[in-house]
Amino acid sequence: MNLLFACILCCLFLAINSNYAQDLNIIPKPVYEVTTNEKYILQNGSDIYITSGIKEVKRLAEMLKNALHRRTGINVQVRKGKQNKGILLDLNSNDTMRTDGYELTVNSKMIKISGKSGCGIFYGIQTLQIILRKDGNFYFPGCRIVDYPRYSYRGFMLDASRHFQSIEFVKKILDVMALLKLNTFHWHLTDDEGWRIESKKYPRLNEIGSYRDSLNAVERNGYYTVEEIKEVIQYAKNLYIKIIPEIEMPGHSRSVMESYPELLCPTNEGGNTYCAGNSKVYEFIKNLVSEIINIFNPEVIHVGGDERPRGVWEKCPKCREMLSLKGLANEDMLQNYFMKDICSFISRKGVKTIAWAENIKDGVPKNQIVEGWHPGESWEAARNGYYTINANCLYTYFDYPNNNEEKKSKPDWMPVLNLEKVYSFNPTPDSLNESEEKFVIGSECALWTELVLENDVQHQIFPRILAFAEVVWSPTGNKNYENFLSRVNAIKPFINSRGFEFAKGEW
Ligand SMILES: [Zn+2]
C-alpha cells in the first residue's frame, strides 16, 4: 500500500467515524465542521469566561448564561479571565477571520468561541444553542467549526400593512432570524391597505390611514407607536439585525391618499398614487421621511417604487406640466425624476436607499440599491453596476403555496414554492462574470400578508426560511438537499420549542 493510498484510507475512516460519532445538524450549514467522539458536559461550574472587558462581550456572555439556564435549568456564572475550562468567549483580532465569522471548538474540557467582532461571537453562540443535546446530562458534542457568511445582506421581509402583527410577535420573528444568522429585517410598513407608523407631523395618517377596515378586524387596523418601534429597533440591534423600514411611493399609497387627498393628481380621485407635478407632494414626502429617519435612525431606508399604475400621470395637467418643464419623454422618466429627487434628499441625510427594481434601463438614483423581485432584474442591475438584492419571487415569496393542496386556496397565478425549490436558489448565477458578481450583495425572503394572519405566518415561513438561511449563508459547494432535509427534521423540535409550527401538509 503506498503512502498516498494509506492517507486516503485513513481520511476516509476518520470522516466516516466522525460522521457516525455525532451529527451536529446545524442550519445554516457551516463552512467547515468536523466532529469528534468527545463531549462537553454542561453542569454547575461550567462558567463562562470573557477575555475582554468590552461591554458587548459581557452582554453576550449574560445572554448565553440566560439561554442555557432557560433550556437546562443549570446556573453558570460569567467570569473575567482565561481558564482551560468552562466556556470561553474570545474577542480575537486575528486578521484571518472573516467579517461576522466565528470559530467554535468543543472538547471534553472546554468550549471556545472566537470572533473578530461581537457579531461573530454572537453567531458562534447561536450555533452552540443548536448543538445542545441531552442523554441524561446536557452536553455539547465535540467539534471544530470555522464559519462565515456567503453574503453580507441576509434578509427577511414582513408585510405589516395588509395584516398587522403584534410587537411581541415581531420580536419572536427576530429571535428566530438571529438563530438562523439572518441580519436584515425589512419591515413593509406602508401600503394601500394601511399605514403602520405613528406620525406626529401628519396625524391623519394614523386616524384615517391606519384604520381603513370598516369591519374593524384587529389585524387590519392599527399602527406601531414611536415607543414600540424604538423598542423593536433596540431588540433587533441586540441580535445584530438591522431594520430597514419601507415607505412606499409613488404608488401603493392609498392609505396616505385617503388621509391627505390633496396629494393625488386632480384627475385621479380615489387613486393610490402621489401626484408628481405637485410641489406640496415633494414637501410632504421629505417631511415624512425626515420624521421616519428620526425614529429609526436607519442605515438604509426602502422607498418602494414599484407598480405605479401606468397612465395616471399622463392624464394629469400638473404632471404633464412637470414633464414638459423637465424635458422628460414619458411618465416612466417622470418616476425616475421623482425617485431621484427624494433619494438625493435622503442621501444628503447620510442614509442609503433601496427600491424595488423599476426602469433600470433609464437609470436609477446614484448609489441606490436595487431589489429585484422579477426573475432577471437583479442580474440586469448588477450588469449596469448597481448593488442589488436578488429577491427573485419564484424562490423567495413565502406567501406562495408550500404544496398543491395549499395551492387550491391561493390565487391561480401563485406557483407552488416547495422546500426543495427554495433550497435550489442561487442569488448569484453563473452567467454573471466576476466583476458583475460583486454587485449582488445578498437576498431576502418575503412574506406578503394579503392572505396571511399573524397565526399563519409560521406555516408560511417554516420550513422554507431554513432553506433560505442556508442559501444566503453557506457556500454552494456544501449544499446537499438530502443532507439538508435530515437536518430540517433534526432541528424541527427546537424550532417548535421557540413557538413556531411548520407548514401543514407536504413541504
Ligand atoms: Zn399629477
310 plus 418 within the same structural domain: yes
| 6 within a domain of the structure (yes/no) | no
Instruction: Tell me the CA–centroid distance for residue 372 and ligand 1, in Å.
Output: 27
Q: Note the pLDDT tens digit of each residue in 4-15.
A: 444 444 444 444
121 plus 206 within the same structural domain: no
| 11 within a domain of the structure (yes/no) | no
Q: Note the pLDDT tens digit of each residue in 55-96.
A: 999 999 999 999 999 999 999 999 999 888 999 999 987 778
Among 9-18, 116-125, 212-221, 293-302, name the one with the lowest average pLDDT. 9-18
299 plus 350 within the same structural domain: yes
Instruction: Tell me the CA–centroid distance for residue 261 and ligand 1, in Å.
Output: 12
Q: Note the pLDDT tens digit of each residue in 336-393.
A: 999 999 999 999 999 999 999 987 877 788 789 999 999 999 999 999 999 999 999 9
Instruction: Say how many domains are in the chain.
Output: 2
Instruction: Tell me the CA–centroid distance for residue 380 and ligand 1, in Å.
Output: 30
181 plus 75 within the same structural domain: no
| 452 within a domain of the structure (yes/no) | yes
425 plus 490 within the same structural domain: yes
| 108 within a domain of the structure (yes/no) | yes
309 plus 356 within the same structural domain: yes
Spatial distance between the Cα atoms of 77 and 15, rounded to a whole number of angstroms: 36
Q: Which residues contact 399 (CB under 8 A, 6 or more apart)?
A: 410, 414, 446, 447, 448, 449, 450, 451, 452, 460
Instruction: Tell me the CA–centroid distance for residue 332 and ligand 1, in Å.
Output: 13
Instruction: Tell me the CA–centroid distance for residue 314 and ligand 1, in Å.
Output: 8
139 plus 244 within the same structural domain: no
Instruction: Tell me the CA–centroid distance for residue 450 and ligand 1, in Å.
Output: 28
CB contact burial 321-330 (16+ within 10 A = b; e otherwise): ebbeeeebee
pLDDT at 215 (0 to 100): 83
Spatial distance between the Cα atoms of 331 and 324, rounded to a whole number of angstroms: 11
Spatial distance between the Cα atoms of 255 and 350, rounded to a whole number of angstroms: 28
Spatial distance between the Cα atoms of 319 and 322, rounded to a whole number of angstroms: 5
Instruction: Tell me the CA–centroid distance for residue 304 and ligand 1, in Å.
Output: 19
Instruction: Tell me the CA–centroid distance for residue 321 and ligand 1, in Å.
Output: 9
Instruction: Tell me which residue range forms the domain holding 120.
Output: 16-147
Q: Note the pLDDT tens digit of each residue in 363-373.
A: 788 789 999 99
Domain boundary among 147, 162, 195: 147
Spatial distance between the Cα atoms of 182 and 174, rounded to a whole number of angstroms: 9
Instruction: Tell me the CA–centroid distance for residue 23 and ligand 1, in Å.
Output: 62
Instruction: Tell me the CA–centroid distance for residue 337 and ligand 1, in Å.
Output: 14
pLDDT at 259 (0 to 100): 98
Instruction: Tell me the CA–centroid distance for residue 334 and ligand 1, in Å.
Output: 10
Instruction: Tell me the CA–centroid distance for residue 370 and ligand 1, in Å.
Output: 26
Instruction: Tell me the CA–centroid distance for residue 86 and ligand 1, in Å.
Output: 67
| 395 within a domain of the structure (yes/no) | yes
| 503 within a domain of the structure (yes/no) | no
Spatial distance between the Cα atoms of 66 and 94, rounded to a whole number of angstroms: 28
Instruction: Tell me the CA–centroid distance for residue 213 and ligand 1, in Å.
Output: 27
Please check whether residue 182 is in contact with residue 469, taking contact to mean a CB–CB distance below 8 angstroms: yes
Among 59-73, 91-105, 174-188, name the one with the lowest average pLDDT. 91-105
43 plus 167 within the same structural domain: no
Domain boundary among 92, 122, 147: 147
Instruction: Tell me the CA–centroid distance for residue 282 and ligand 1, in Å.
Output: 12
Spatial distance between the Cα atoms of 394 and 396, rounded to a whole number of angstroms: 6
Instruction: Tell me the CA–centroid distance for residue 267 and ligand 1, in Å.
Output: 7
Which single residue is written with the C-alpha cell 460583486? 438
Instruction: Tell me the CA–centroid distance for residue 253 and ligand 1, in Å.
Output: 14
Please check whether residue 254 is in contact with residue 280, taking contact to mean a CB–CB distance below 8 angstroms: no
Instruction: Tell me the CA–centroid distance for residue 265 and ligand 1, in Å.
Output: 4
CA torsion sign for 490, 491, 495, 501 is: negative
Instruction: Tell me the CA–centroid distance for residue 432 and ligand 1, in Å.
Output: 39
Spatial distance between the Cα atoms of 382 and 384, rounded to a whole number of angstroms: 5
467 plus 353 within the same structural domain: yes
Instruction: Tell me the CA–centroid distance for residue 319 and ligand 1, in Å.
Output: 4
pLDDT at 359 (0 to 100): 77
Spatial distance between the Cα atoms of 256 and 209, rounded to a whole number of angstroms: 6
Instruction: Tell me the CA–centroid distance for residue 205 and ligand 1, in Å.
Output: 21
pLDDT at 498 (0 to 100): 93
Instruction: Tell me the CA–centroid distance for residue 181 and ligand 1, in Å.
Output: 44
Q: How confident is the model at residue 217 (pLDDT cuts 50, 70, 90)?
A: confident
283 plus 365 within the same structural domain: yes
Spatial distance between the Cα atoms of 300 and 369, rounded to a whole number of angstroms: 9
Instruction: Tell me the CA–centroid distance for residue 307 and ligand 1, in Å.
Output: 16
Instruction: Tell me the CA–centroid distance for residue 202 and ligand 1, in Å.
Output: 21
% residues pLDDT > 70 (the chain): 96
Is the pLDDT at 315 greater than 90, yes or no? Answer: yes
Q: Note the pLDDT tens digit of each residue in 419-473.
A: 999 999 999 977 899 999 999 999 999 999 999 999 999 999 999 999 999 999 9
Domain boundary among 129, 147, 165: 147
| 504 within a domain of the structure (yes/no) | no
| 506 within a domain of the structure (yes/no) | no
CATH number at 200 reads 3.20.20.80
Q: Note the pLDDT tens digit of each residue in 260-286.
A: 999 999 999 999 999 999 999 999 999
119 plus 222 within the same structural domain: no
99 plus 200 within the same structural domain: no
